[in-house]
Amino acid sequence: MINMEFKSQCRLRGFLRHCLWLRSHVLLPFFAGGGWPQPHRGGYFKLSQNYIRSAYFFGPDRTIVDITTVQLFTTSLYWEYGFTKRFTGILYIPFFVRNTLNETVYNQSGQLVLGDAF
């Protein structure tokens, strides 16, 4: 008798777990609505530039590690357009991206090689 109750409880837990998964992964996104759509034939346009430079990074053990100076330049275009009042198209184009490495020092010979930023 106890074994039967245990099996039925396990089935019920499995069924509830599947229902919760179905609700959170399939049904909820339809009701959540996502972000704010753009109005019909309206939109948003952004031209942006980013510049990142670093001579350090954080290692997995939370220590600061010296690295060769690395730079990242990005110029991009971001555009949202409302095709209907409920459907918005998004376009992202990074049309200029440049990564630079300032110098490299070889460990065995100690030879310094200038990078592409010079």
Q: Where are the domains of the chain?
A: 1-33, 35-118
pLDDT digits (tens, 9 = 90+) for 62-79: 888 777 777 888 999 999
Q: 109 — phi, psi (to 5°)?
A: -100, -20
Q: 28 — phi, psi (to 5°)?
A: -60, -40
pLDDT digits (tens, 9 = 90+) for 21-60: 766 666 555 555 567 888 898 999 999 999 888 877 777 7
57 near 15, Cβ under 8 Å?
no
